[in-house]
Amino acid sequence: MQQTIKADKGWRIWWQLTRPHTLTAAFAPVFLGTMIALTYGKLHFPLFIAMLVASVFIQMATNMFNEYYDFKRGLDTEQSIGIGGTIVRNGVKPKTVLNLAFMLYGISVLIGIYICMETSWMLAVVGILSMMVGYFYTGGPYPIAYTPFGELFSGVVMGMLLILIAFYIQTETVTTEAVLLSIPSMLLVAGIMLANNIRDLEGDKEGGRKTLAILVGRYNAITILMLFFIISYGWIIAMILFGHLTPWALLVFLSVKKPIGAITVFRKNHIPIHVMPAMKNTAVTNTLFGLLLGIGILIGHLL
């Protein structure tokens, strides 16, 4: 019985290390980009799966780099709030975390080679740049996460760029429509990072970070997050009105309860552990929005 409990706990530790609530930032854009591509032709399923796995692995690795460097810089303690802190709370060796991150990067490179062989080697440059952003988000002498540009980099790379790559490997082109449809995803992925920085604002101040949330203050940061949500949903309405989408895209509004819940929790609570539901709702918003928009695009195309 004790061994079963230990095994279960061990599994949970490694699962927490991947920071699963952020993995939707990799899944949803790939799904959406592929659904947009389906309106242009047939689905190349092996490329879709390859892109999805590589994107999730890169996100996992980025989270592990974050875990490692937050520990190295003394930002993670046993009192840290959130799913991070596997090293300080669960005794996982820092070197193990770092090696695992590089291993995931290595697997992603191999998958990337397959994708390039099937499409274009130009994607190798894009892939390398994306992995560099993932590493330097918290690694290196000047981590991106310590600046006000964390939301920008994460939104562009994990939101917009993933959609455009997923679209490109299916169609071998990038259209204006695909770029326009990637804007909400860019904002929502940036929102996940902003929500994280709002929660960690006080701890990040002590750690020497200068995040957007610290720069503008908590109240204004929550307002910016709310604007990310409003613009994302409003963007879909505008694209329907201008004829770029069918009314089926309004399916995204089935998810609107989540961002409302996130903002409500952030406004009412200041204690980090009490805003965890807001973190979850922000991540779920990104997932549901991408899934529902993709489904709406596909239905509109088929009908």
Domain ranges, ordered by start, for the chain:
8-208+216-302
* Average pLDDT value for the chain: 88
For 41, phi then psi, to 5°, come to: 175, -160
Please check the confidence at residue 161 and state whether its pLDDT lies above 70.
Answer: yes
15 contact partners, CB below 8 Å, separation of at least 6: none
Once rounded to an integer, what is the mean pLDDT over residues 62-72?
Answer: 84
Q: What is the pLDDT of residue 219?
A: 96
Class of domain 8-208+216-302: mainly alpha
264 contact partners, CB below 8 Å, separation of at least 6: 278
For 93, phi then psi, to 5°, come to: -65, 135
**What pTM was computed for the model?**
0.88
Write out pLDDT tens, residues 86-131: 665 556 788 888 899 999 999 999 999 999 999 999 999 999 999 9
Q: How far is CA 144 from CA 148, 212, 266, 283, in A?
A: 8, 11, 24, 21
